[in-house]
Structure 1
Amino acid sequence: MPVQYEQSIIKALAYFDIFNYPLTLDEIHHFLDQPVSGDDVLLTLQQLVDDNRVFRMGNFYSLQQDPSLRARRTNGNNKATALLTKGYKVGGFLYQFPFVRGIGISGSLSKNFADQNTDIDFFIITHANRLWIARTLMHLFKKLTFITGHQHFYCMNYYIDEEALRIDEQNIFTATELITLKPVCGNGTMDRFYDENNWAGNYFPNQPVSKESIVLAKPGWFKRAVEWLLDNKTGNSIDNWLMRVTTRRWLKKEQLQKTNSHGIRMGLHTGKHFSKPNPEFFQRKVLDSLEKKLNSQTAYVNS
């Protein structure tokens, strides 16, 4: 088999190996960075297994010779099935907040994996120039969920508005997050989001972005009333003020190097049309880990 096929397979496995997540044959094919037939993937994988560069565990493949990864993944997939049901219900509820135009499930749950520490992470698109009003209202509600211990069902950590549908950071991390995003509901904005980010197909040409399961939801009376009330210059001023207040608060958190419950450094990258985790923290950590794994594989082959 061509060497580039081997490299593509190793790269796909190495990325998910960061998360101790072995892949199936179909998943490896989907996450390859070049067009390859399924038969060629199978033949190349078999050669890599024979050379002890890849290890097979039932239906799963990994760069680690660790049988426990198979059980971990199977258990995680089973837990994700139940948690996703809850996620879709919560997503439908969150859509009814003012100025929300699209909701998707992201994070590990979007890859069909969950453990006892898994949160339900949401990707949210808002109406243009009303992101900070929407975000503030949603996070005020989240504070109430701490009382009942349900805060892990409402992790709303990535916002963009209709003026910033195209993702700026275009790399394997953001491409993976985009193609695995599970749409929940919207008003058609999610379709436009996918169209604006068709660049992800350059990273994964064997797996087109899925637009299925987008429920076109109708806004409730509360959502319509607040949007009518703030569809004016006062709304503009409030949105700008909330952006400044939130940005100052998060800058202080970054300076104090605070971490979340998972030990990941907290940081928020903000602008008028976006509010998202600072890519210099978790995203950069993943990309650096991938580079190290690929370098170690190259060193092994050349030794």
Structure 2
Amino acid sequence: MTTLVTMMDAPRHNAQPQDEPLVMGPASTAMILTMAYFSLFNHPLREDELLRYCHFFAISPAAFRDTLGALLDQGILVKSGALFHLRGDDALPAIRGEREARAATWRVRVARSASVLARLPFLRGLFLSGSLSKGTQDERGDIDFLLVTAGNRLWTTRFFASLLLKSIPESGRRNFCMNYFLPEDRLGIPDRTLFSATEVACLKPLWNTPGSAAFFKQNSWFRAFYPNLEPAAPPEAPHRPPFLQRLLEWPLSGRLGDRFEAWATQWFIHRLSHQLATLPPDRSPEDFRIGPWEYKGHTKGFHGRLRKAWHERLNSLEAAFGVQLIRWPWGRTPRPGQAPAEGFARLPVPLRIRRHQL
């Protein structure tokens, strides 16, 4: 196995004993880690995607092409058509093709669901998340949404969303997977992990798209994990709330609305606390969180399992390829003064992951 050709990605020593692993530089490590993460979702990447989504390390297009060529020459990466994947993942391009074709058939469903949700009272923003935000869909997939509500009306919106779900046959509820609610004056997501950063980076604004810029500014910390990625600029479409939404908001905008919000908050938190008690004790704290200013309802323990699978995948790749990878952390804890800001006036300082010099 030869050393990589770029100076920025040179190994630590000019020569190493044959029984020692090859120490990979930051650019090649970042690209391998990126491919490893997306392989957990059976999702190979195109060349432009690999550059945009390259984890942890800012890399120029020229250095990216040199490093990509070296990884291909070494047999660590393989190109299948327009897609790149790690050696041994030969089945992934066909899986992605199948999922992309299925996602295309879901576009009408997404548009219909977004149109229905746009009528919820005090809804101020709607994002598509999950696999569909990345252009793919599983056979048993659903439509995941992140909802932004008016300040001090999160649980009022959640209440009407529950009524909506009750009115829909169970077979159609997978079109309305509303598992994250945030108010517009507290948009900061506290879970600064690779998984959360990926979901933030891939969110697709569906409604009130001009207001989505505030969300991405409030969560600019994700660029510590995705330094080469800028969110796509949403179209500056004029926003006018639907008539039904304005009608429902009118009686709940004053003191009566404050009382209703206080009741809904207390009722939901009490009810969901019982659900929280039934979750596995080893669940990740990033999976399920409830409070006056946030609802996160990932009840399947996916976050913790994914973190474990990612570390296991890196261990297996090091053994299979005979390399040593830089282990950038899965998550970062904000330093004092870097906690997510409340409101639009104070924005969190993006976390900076130190670049390793080899």
TM-score by length of 2: 0.76
Q: Deviations over 1:116-157 (max 9, x none)?
A: 21101111100001010111101211122225x211111111
1:206 aligns to 2:233 (yes or no)? no
The 5 A counterparts of 1:1-303 are 1=6, 2=9, 3-32=25-54, 33-146=56-169, 149-186=171-208, 188-213=210-235, 215-257=237-279, 268-277=288-297, 281-300=301-320, 301-302=322-323
1:187 CA displacement: 6.9
Mapped to 2, the partners of 1:214 and 1:282 lie a distance apart of 35
State how far apart, in whole Å, the 2-side matches of 1:299 and 1:187 are.
45
Cα distance in 2 for residues equivalent to 1:143 and 1:152: 13
Secondary structure class of the residue paired with 1:156 = strand
Q: C-alpha displacement at 1:82, in angstroms?
A: 2.5
Q: Does the 8 Å contact 1:184/1:214 carry over to 2? A: no
Measured in 2, the distance between the counterparts of 1:150 and 1:134 equals 20
C-alpha displacement of 1:296? 2.9
| In structure 1, distance between residues paired with 2:75 and 2:82 | 17
Worse-superposed segment, 126-135 or 281-290:
281-290
Shift of 1:86: 2.5
CA distance in 1, matches of 2:261, 2:244: 18
How far 1:247 sits from its partner (Å)?
A: 2.2
- The letter for the 1-side match of 2:70 is Q
Letter of the 1:257 partner, please give it.
L
Equivalent residue, structure 2, for 1:261: none
Distance apart, 1:167 and its partner CA: 1.2
Which one is further off, 283-292 or 113-122? 283-292
Fraction of identical pairs, as percent = 27
Query: Which sections of structure 1, spanning at least 5 residues, go unmatched?
Result: 259-263
1:196 and 1:79 map into 2 onto residues whose CA distance is: 33
SS of residue matched to 2:179: strand
Give 1:287 shift: 2.2
1:253 Cα deviation from its structure 2 partner: 2.3
CA distance in 2, matches of 1:122, 1:213: 19
The runs of at least 4 aligned residues of structure 1 exceeding 6 Å deviation read: none
- SS state of the match for residue 45, structure 2? coil
How much has 1:106 moved relative to structure 2?
0.3
Which stretch shows the higher mean deviation, 172-181 or 51-60?
51-60
Deviation at 1:215, TM superposition (A): 4.2
CA distance in structure 2 between the aligned counterparts of 1:42 and 1:65, rounded to whole angstroms: 22
Cα–Cα, structure 1 residues 302 and 22, in superposed 2: closer, same or farther, change >3 Å? Answer: closer
Determine helix, strand or coil for the equivalent of 1:199. Answer: helix
Paired residue secondary structure (1:55)? strand
Change (3 A) 1:162 1:110: same
Indicate if the aligned counterparts of 1:79 and 1:113 stay in contact, CA closer than 8 A: yes
Query: Judging changes above 3 Å, is the alpha-carbon distance between structure 1 residues 52 and 101 closer, same or farther for their aligned structure 2 residues?
Result: same
1:43 partner SS = helix
Structure with bigger RCO (C-alpha 8 Å, 6+ apart):
2
Asked if the contact 1:25–1:42 (Cα under 8 Å) also holds between the matched residues in 2, the reply is no
CA contact (8 A) 2:75 2:87 kept: no
Structure 2: gaps of 5 or more residues: 1-5, 10-24, 325-358
The CA RMSD over aligned residues, in Å, is: 2.5
Deviation at 1:64, TM superposition (A): 5.0
Larger Rg: 2
> Hey, what's the Cα distance between the residues in 2 that align with 1:172 and 1:139?
30
1: CA distance, partners of 2:247 / 2:188: 29
**For the residues of structure 1 that align with 2:315 and 2:88, how far apart are their CA atoms?**
18
What does the per-residue CA deviation read over 1:62-82, in whole Å, with 9 as the maximum and x for residues that have no partner?
Answer: 225233211110111122123
Deviation at 1:171, TM superposition (A): 2.0
Contact 2:209–2:234 (CA<8 Å) still a contact in 1? no
